[in-house]
Amino acid sequence: MEKNNKAGMRNYMSMVKFGHTLFAMPFALTGFFLGVMNTQKPLSWKLLLLVVLCMVFARNAAMAFNRFIDREIDSKNPRTALREIPAGIIKAKSALVFVILNSLAFMLTTWFINRVTFYLAPLALLIVLGYSLTKKFTSLCHFVLGIGLALAPIGAYLAVTGKFDLLPLFYSLLVLFWVSGFDMLYALQDEDFDKSMNLRSIVVWLGRKGALRLSVIVHILSAGFVIGIGILAGFGAYYWVGSIIFAGLLAYQHMIVKPEDLSRLNMAFFTTNGVASVIFAVFNITDILMR
């Protein structure tokens, strides 16, 4: 533990929930292989590694900054009081240094990719770091989180092609509505606490039933972009199989989370969405590589 000057990397990986990289990383890989397909360039393992590192550094910075900004709030919430900073496992100053180091590593990595990604890197950091402040002033904070993760597919595509296209934008919109929807579900568990602390969220604004309805709507929009991508790109059977499973898992999480019963919320948030993103990416990338 840090108070004994013996904090290990394991504590930092726990702080940023490193395993949750599964949410956005599959879409970054999809964007990467989509760029390879559209440019007909040979696969560059070096570039793929750089894209993966960008994802890791950006997410580490974003999550650690969120923990740093919310440290006082987390200490008052029974659900989060045992997180690394409020529990004293990692000092706030050390968490901030971790944020700075990962942000610099992200910037440096984009320099070795291409100039477009490097010039856009500060904007990307502004979005993913800025999310941590939004719950204090807007109920639309879930959509800001969605925008942050939506940078993954279009950013990876830019890393390969150096230009914007319509198809990766559709992927980003898919991610935006997917993430926003499941983050509304996750916020259900903190409704009373958020109200007591004057924090904003869709749940605080619309109540449980309203938040669940809006979550369904934005997940339907996400599924709509799944269909739009398949039609626009002319993808084959592998893509559509992955799409059906993805849409089915979106529907499943709404079946197991009810306004009066949040006992299966963690399954809906962590397990279902993690599996959905991996399966969708595997089938999508397979379809791309089979072309």
Q: What pLDDT, on the 0 to 100 scale, is given for residue 5?
A: 45
Rounded Cα distance, 117 and 124, in Å: 9
* Residue span of the structural domain in which 64 resides: 2-289
Which of 218, 149, 221, 150 lies closest to 185, judged by CA? 218
In tens, the pLDDT along 139-194 reads: 999 999 999 999 999 999 999 999 999 999 999 999 999 999 999 999 999 999 99
Rounded Cα distance, 111 and 2, in Å: 33
Residue type, 272: T
Q: In total, how many domains does the chain have?
A: 1
Both tokens of 161, joined, read 């092609």
In tens, the pLDDT along 201-225 reads: 999 999 999 999 999 999 999 999 9
Which stretches of the chain are DSSP H helices? 9-15, 25-39, 45-69, 71-76, 92-111, 115-134, 141-161, 166-187, 191-196, 202-233, 237-256, 265-266, 273-289
Which of 9, 121, 119, 99 lies closest to 54, judged by CA? 121
Residue 16 vs residues 58, 62, 80, 130: alpha-carbon distances, Å: 11, 8, 13, 16
Which region, left, alpha or beta, applies to residue 114 given φ > 0 means left and ψ of -120 to 50 means alpha?
beta
Residue 261, classed as helix, strand or coil, is: strand
For residue 86, the Cα-to-chain-centroid distance in whole angstroms is 24
* CB distance 182 to 73 below 8 Å: no
Q: What pLDDT, on the 0 to 100 scale, is given for residue 2?
A: 46
Q: What pLDDT, on the 0 to 100 scale, is given for residue 45?
A: 96
* CB distance 22 to 274 below 8 Å: yes
Rounded Cα distance, 192 and 264, in Å: 18
Confidence (pTM): 0.94
CATH number where 161 lies:
1.10.357.140
* CB distance 58 to 92 below 8 Å: no
Per-residue pLDDT of the chain (291 residues; tens, 9 = 90+): 444 444 478 888 888 887 677 778 999 999 999 999 999 888 999 999 999 999 999 999 999 999 999 999 999 999 999 999 999 999 999 999 999 999 999 999 999 999 999 999 999 999 999 999 999 999 999 999 999 999 999 999 999 999 999 999 999 999 999 999 999 999 999 999 999 999 999 999 999 999 999 999 999 999 999 999 999 999 999 999 999 999 999 999 999 888 888 888 887 777 889 899 999 999 999 999 998
